[in-house]
Structure 1
Amino acid sequence: MTLRRLVPQPGLSIALLALWLLLARSVEMAQVLLGMAIALIVRILVSTLWPVARIRRPLTALRFALRIGGDVVHSNLVVAWGVLRWPWRRPVYRFILIPLDLRDPAGLAVLSVVTTVVPGTVWSELAVDRSAMLLHVWDAPDEAAFAARFKARYEAPLREIFE
């Protein structure tokens, strides 16, 4: 058995070991050995679950990550403002069905995380054939405009990155 086969992703195994030692709050030899065993065993057990995703455009991925960071800050402010003015203007919250062109499983996983991380949107359901997703949106007076903006802002870059 080669070292690469035993430790398929050494960075992840080292991170798991470091996390174990932080949680144990000890660097005694017994804890280090136990952490190494856990890091190796967990990595081997989840190897079949590990997604095989290729990022085709790393610069687009970096711009997308920066956009998400900005959107998180902006959406926090928008939702906070909406909560403060609730007595005078109630948000138009609703479920919106968004047709999807993105089919890559890793891209869909990233899209689900993004919609859950950005305040004001929650991923509710994905069609069995992955052709559409259902989002719950905090304030979307114009359903068509929201869907078009969502597709341009999130889905299009993910298609460029993963497909």
Structure 2
Amino acid sequence: MKTLRRLLPQPVMSLLIFGLWLILAEAPGRGQVLIALALAIGLPPATRAFWPDPPRLRAPGAGLRLLAVVLADIVVANIEVARRVAGPVARLRPAFLEVPLAIADPFVATILGSIVSLTPGTVSVEIDRGRGVLLVHALHVEDPAAAVARIKARYEAPLKEVFGC
């Protein structure tokens, strides 16, 4: 088991690299499978120095619920953004939001920023660890306080539960 762990220190990352390479390959043949395997085995150890130590997963069930919420929000946000962009541009109310972070772990804060950026119509601009704030640009905001509360309730609170921080 230790040999397998040394060969694949990040098995999920290796699986993702392997799968993505084959998906992106024009014609996944034997050669592409070998390249995907070499990358899947070689890249995680080669990039280990650049990865922070992730916090331990404390509540996998909460993680699955969060994933479902994020995926649903992505679908709904795509429809909403398409509707807003197709309408009169003058009706858009773009805004920068400062989301106060209750998460001290930089890895988990980065996950939060990534989730916000994945949702169409919003993008994380900066994580200010000194002030403990996530700066978000939103395409359309009618109530900034409600938008901040939504990010905290839908994404930050579940992340705190998932990682126990």
- TM-score, normalization by structure 2: 0.79
Q: Is the 8 A contact 1:21 1:27 kept in 2?
A: no
CA apart distance, 1:62: 0.7
Residues 1:40 and 2:41 aligned together: yes
| Secondary structure, counterpart of 2:137 in structure 1 | strand
* Aligned counterpart, 1:113: 114
Taking a change above 3 Å as real, the CA distance of residues 103 and 37 of structure 1, as seen in their structure-2 partners, is same
| Unmatched runs of 5 consecutive residues or more in structure 1 | none
| Secondary structure, counterpart of 2:49 in structure 1 | coil
| Unmatched runs of 5 consecutive residues or more in structure 2 | none
Amino acid in structure 2 at the alignment position of 1:126? I
| Secondary structure, counterpart of 1:124 in structure 2 | strand
Residue of 20, 26, 29 corresponding to 2:29:
26
Report the RMSD for the aligned CA atoms in angstroms.
2.7
Query: Which has more radius of gyration?
Result: 1
Residue by residue over 1:11-49, the C-alpha shift from the partner in whole angstroms, topping out at 9 and shown as x without a partner, is 644664566567484315xx7666555443323212233
Matched residues, number: 160
Deviates more, 1:42-51 or 1:4-13: 4-13
* Aligned counterpart, 1:80: 82
Residue of 53, 60, 63 corresponding to 1:61:
63
| Secondary structure, counterpart of 2:50 in structure 1 | coil
* Aligned counterpart, 1:148: 149
Amino acid in structure 1 at the alignment position of 2:80? V
User: Percent of pairs identical after alignment?
Assistant: 38
Amino acid in structure 1 at the alignment position of 2:126? E
Alignment of 1:121-136 (within 5 A): 121-129=122-130, 131-136=132-137
Amino acid in structure 2 at the alignment position of 1:86? P
Q: Is the 8 A contact 1:103 1:130 kept in 2?
A: no
Deviates more, 1:41-50 or 1:100-109: 41-50
Taking a change above 3 Å as real, the CA distance of residues 126 and 82 of structure 1, as seen in their structure-2 partners, is same
| Secondary structure, counterpart of 2:91 in structure 1 | coil
